[in-house]
Structure 1
Amino acid sequence: MSDWIDCPHPLPVRFDADRLSASWERLHKGDAEPMPTDPDLLQAWVLFHNGEFQRATQAGLLLGDAGMNLANKATCIYATYLEPREQRRESLLLEAAARAQALQLRQPDNPGAWYWQAYALGRYSQGISVAKALANGLGARIKSALEKTIERAPQHADAHLALGTFHAEVIDKVGRMIARITYGATAEAGLALFQQAHSLNPDSAITLTEHARGLLMLEGRRQLSTATELQDRAASIEPLDAMEQLYLETARLD
């Protein structure tokens, strides 16, 4: 594993095991990851929330299947927000997707195994272009993995959010008729998924921002006032860890 670059933004807070335990429910309301009972795994998650993504990935891999969701999340977040080299970024995302797919065979009921495969492939698809990814068959794999995540963890807000984004992006790229016939993507399903994600995790800046973007993709100016309200609420929420800080810094640049 080559050296990864450091997070350039100041951390909102610095976590230790006790502080992370106290904040776990808030931090993991989106991905529904259970709080570890193993102190070594908890400490590895401390590295993630402090933005030490390379060390978090390494620590997760050393813990085997117990740390695989951590390793894949740390890799995906680093690749998405910090890796400047496109080829390396794509490679990291594909590595995480492959690890997640292998975990599905060993732990088919683990929601994270399905979600992090979908997330990694989704970010990879955005990098190579959604249209190209759809032509290569990645859309069906992402949609299936997200649906399996929700089947295993109906409270997984991020999976609802990602699946809503899938419907919205497919419709945005190929139009409503082809999206429905070829990919099973509809505006009605997308809107319902965004609303469910919002209901499950209403105080997340990520949820609010992605919900706003989804509304604009699916309904355009008709939802401009609602989208603006959601974005204003998102802007008022202070980030709690390195991942949230990176997301908000990126969102401000869009």
Structure 2
Amino acid sequence: MTVTHVPARPFWLVILLTCWLGAAAHAFDDEGNLDEMDEVRPGELSYEDIPVDDRIFERPWTSVPFNTAFFDYTPEEIEARWDELMAGIRAPFPSPGYLEYMISNYPEIVEGVEAFNGDYEEFSRRNIHVWRLFLRGDLQQAREEGIQLGVMGLYPAMFAQTLYAIYLSERQTEKYMMLQDVANRVRDNFHLLDRAENDPIAAELVAFTKLGYAYALGRIAEESPVPVIVFRRYIGKIKGGAEEVVDLIPDHPLGHAFRAGVDAGIMRRVGRATGRITYGARSTVVDESFRKAFEMAPDIPILNYEYANALIYMSRKRDLELAYEYLDRATHFTPQWSMDALDTMYAFKRLQEVRLFDQHYRSFRAFERHRRRFSRVTDHNLTNVLSPPLTMDMMENPEQYTLPPLE
């Protein structure tokens, strides 16, 4: 077993953060009760990077809940449809010419890569094959083959891992470790960014790097206690990365949506006023960023369900009907590849979760508190599309749904 550790912060800093956040983050809910959802477990403030147990990559992963043949495109079809398939994420196509330019100018991207022998045509075919695995939903194989191709193969590999972590990992702890591993591996290539940032040919790859890193941390932060979010400096890393993506690629649809989602997520956790004053989170930024994203790519499922989430995070029940509309819309798209399919499935699950909130909770904060408590008590990953949607029995009796410890 390999576990990655980061040196602990000084003890005095842990105490200072805990005391300060006791007043600032352990706010009271809408009914005047002390908010329990930001309670910190022992040890959570002792590391900045979540320790990763490499056994999660050695076990067989759960298969996607659809026939991968639906999205099994030939290499020729992938090249012809690349711009359509990548409309949201804007990943660069690994053509022989592109690879030759990148490797010639940034040779470290193939340092120690046995799969590259100077033949750009063959290296392109191998990279396209990894994307083919990812597009059709063979996520573990895409990861394993992608990381053998250096930096270029790392991107579809880590994208596949992110998709698996969010939508198919059963446990919250496993999800967090997988996302942390993505952030770690992408961060290891940050040394390339300074050199490549002003290169227009490399701009999409740089933006993809920043988006992947910030998105992985964002998915950890959205369910973490506020003291942990502050201690690990998630907001600065995530918000800064989101802004850099749209600075590099102004017409990046998911870059704008992620930028909006960051501000909405901050408001979800600390409220509008604290979010605006402390972190610069503004509803006007959310509205404008989503407007730009929808102008560029209106038919992406994740864009629609994230906008629905943002409406709830900012306005609670005031815009709930509009949130329902966008969640329902997200469930009706015809998927073009594995990410679309899993996004659509999650939108359906999220729709049922929002109905639970609407029907049984007066307070959004109480709903969030119960939801987060269920996940922390049971270790269930609530974004797993294979697990049943939340019910009131689950929310009220989480101890009855606890997953057994990992061996």
| 1:39-59 per-position Cα deviation (integer Å, ceiling 9, x unaligned) | 221111000011111111122
Please identify, of 230-239 and 240-249, the stretch whose mean Cα deviation from structure 2 is larger.
230-239
Asked if 1:2 corresponds to 2:58, the answer is yes
Q: Share of identical aligned residues, percent?
A: 28
Paired residue secondary structure (1:239): coil
Paired residue secondary structure (1:87): helix
Q: Corresponding residue for 2:160?
A: 74
- C-alpha displacement at 1:134, in angstroms? 3.9
Q: Corresponding residue for 1:121?
A: 217
- C-alpha displacement at 1:130, in angstroms? 5.7
Please identify, of 197-206 and 20-29, the stretch whose mean Cα deviation from structure 2 is larger.
20-29
Q: Corresponding residue for 1:96?
A: 182
In 2, Cα distance between equivalents of 1:142 and 1:14 = 33
Write out aligned runs for 1:109-188 (5 A). 109=197, 110-129=206-225, 132-188=228-284
Unpaired stretches in structure 2, ≥5 consecutive residues: 1-56, 96-123, 198-205, 351-407
Q: Which amino acid aligns with 2:92?
A: P
Q: Which amino acid aligns with 1:42?
A: I
More helix by proportion, 1 or 2?
1
In 1, Cα distance between equivalents of 2:265 and 2:231 = 14
Kept in 1: contact 2:130–2:157 (CA 8 A): no
In 2, Cα distance between equivalents of 1:63 and 1:2 = 19
Q: Corresponding residue for 2:191?
A: 105
Q: Which amino acid aligns with 1:230?
A: Y
In 2, Cα distance between equivalents of 1:25 and 1:215 = 29
TM-score by length of 1: 0.91
TM-score by length of 2: 0.59
In 1, Cα distance between equivalents of 2:224 and 2:91 = 29
In 2, Cα distance between equivalents of 1:245 and 1:9 = 8
Kept in 1: contact 2:331–2:345 (CA 8 A): no
- C-alpha displacement at 1:106, in angstroms? 1.6
Change (3 A) 1:199 1:234: same
Q: Which amino acid aligns with 1:209?
A: Y
Aligned match for 1:25, one of 83, 93, 104: 83
Change (3 A) 1:85 1:219: closer
Q: Corresponding residue for 1:191?
A: 287
In 2, Cα distance between equivalents of 1:26 and 1:118 = 24
Paired residue secondary structure (1:122): helix
- C-alpha displacement at 1:140, in angstroms? 1.1
Kept in 2: contact 1:48–1:56 (CA 8 A): yes
In 2, Cα distance between equivalents of 1:177 and 1:86 = 30
Asked if 1:14 corresponds to 2:72, the answer is yes
| 1:108-134 per-position Cα deviation (integer Å, ceiling 9, x unaligned) | 431111110011101111343466424
Kept in 1: contact 2:94–2:128 (CA 8 A): yes
Q: Which amino acid aligns with 2:164?
A: Y
Q: Corresponding residue for 2:120?
A: none
In 1, Cα distance between equivalents of 2:71 and 2:94 = 21
Q: Which amino acid aligns with 1:154?
A: P
Please identify, of 210-219 and 181-190, the stretch whose mean Cα deviation from structure 2 is larger.
210-219
Kept in 2: contact 1:9–1:246 (CA 8 A): no
Unpaired stretches in structure 1, ≥5 consecutive residues: none
Please identify, of 74-83 and 229-238, the stretch whose mean Cα deviation from structure 2 is larger.
229-238
In 2, Cα distance between equivalents of 1:227 and 1:197 = 17
Q: Corresponding residue for 2:105?
A: none
- C-alpha displacement at 1:223, in angstroms? 3.5
Paired residue secondary structure (1:218): helix
In 2, Cα distance between equivalents of 1:16 and 1:129 = 44
In 2, Cα distance between equivalents of 1:185 and 1:68 = 32
Aligned match for 1:34, one of 92, 109, 114: 92
| 1:16-70 per-position Cα deviation (integer Å, ceiling 9, x unaligned) | 2122223322221111112220222111100001111111112221111112221
Kept in 2: contact 1:215–1:223 (CA 8 A): yes
| 1:192-223 per-position Cα deviation (integer Å, ceiling 9, x unaligned) | 11111111211112112212221232234554
Q: Which amino acid aligns with 2:146?
A: G
Which of the pair has more CA radius of gyration?
A: 2
Please identify, of 192-201 and 233-242, the stretch whose mean Cα deviation from structure 2 is larger.
233-242
Change (3 A) 1:235 1:82: closer
Kept in 1: contact 2:263–2:281 (CA 8 A): yes
In 2, Cα distance between equivalents of 1:249 and 1:205 = 10
- C-alpha displacement at 1:229, in angstroms? 3.7
Please identify, of 2-11 and 214-223, the stretch whose mean Cα deviation from structure 2 is larger.
214-223
Q: Which amino acid aligns with 1:213?
A: N
- C-alpha displacement at 1:73, in angstroms? 0.8
In 2, Cα distance between equivalents of 1:82 and 1:72 = 15
